[in-house]
Amino acid sequence: MNIQFGFRARKEEVPPLRTAVGKLLEQEGLESKRVQRAISIVDEVCNNAVEHGSKTDSKIQLKIYVANGQIQITCEDEGGGSTLKAKDLLKIIKSPGSSEISTSIRGRGLSKIVKGFSDSVEIVDLKKGGIRITSTL
């Protein structure tokens, strides 16, 4: 399966995408636990792109590729939402993690959920501007 979605940088656009990706992955016959993890990753990377990676209504691309039982989720934004670069997000993903459980409300999407549910995560700056996050599980 190789499918691509384009959507506007609005948080309301993400739930239908989440549902659509979930149904498509179920149809691939993948294990339920992995499908659910992929749904979480899609939600977190897309919302990250909406909130931090984009001006309102700019375009975000979500690509889902499934082959040999492996799921690859790629989200690309156009930039302009914040000054964060790939290296900043990589620091968050690669931090060893604290033994202390945070009680803050924010900050778990990439560092815990995407990192924890993925076998690997790649984050790169795009030459045209924006960031691409690729999660493989």
Partner 1 sequence: MSKATISISALSGVEKGRKIAISGQLDETNIDDESKKIYEVVEKEGDGLKILFNLKGLTYMNSKSVGYLADWHGKVKKAKGKMVICGAADNIKDILSVVGLTSLIEIVDSEDEGKKALGGK
CB of residue 40 to partner 1, shortest distance in Å: 6
Indicate the residue among 43 and 78 with the shorter CB distance to partner 1.
43
Among 79, 85, 95, CA closest to 123: 85
Indicate the residue among 50 and 64 with the shorter CB distance to partner 1.
50
CB of residue 73 to partner 1, shortest distance in Å: 15
Q: Are residues 109 and 127 in contact, defined by beta-carbon separation less than 8 angstroms?
A: no
CB of residue 108 to partner 1, shortest distance in Å: 4
- Give the C-alpha separation, 103 to 106, whole Å: 9
Indicate the residue among 18 and 63 with the shorter CB distance to partner 1.
18
The encoded tokens of residue 63 equal: 């690509």
Binding-site ranges for partner 1 (CB under 8 A): 11-12, 14-15, 18, 32-33, 36-37, 39-40, 43-44, 47, 50-51, 101-109, 112-113, 116-117
93 to 81, 84, 86, 96: CA distances (angstroms) = 19, 13, 10, 8
Owner of token pair 């060893």: 96
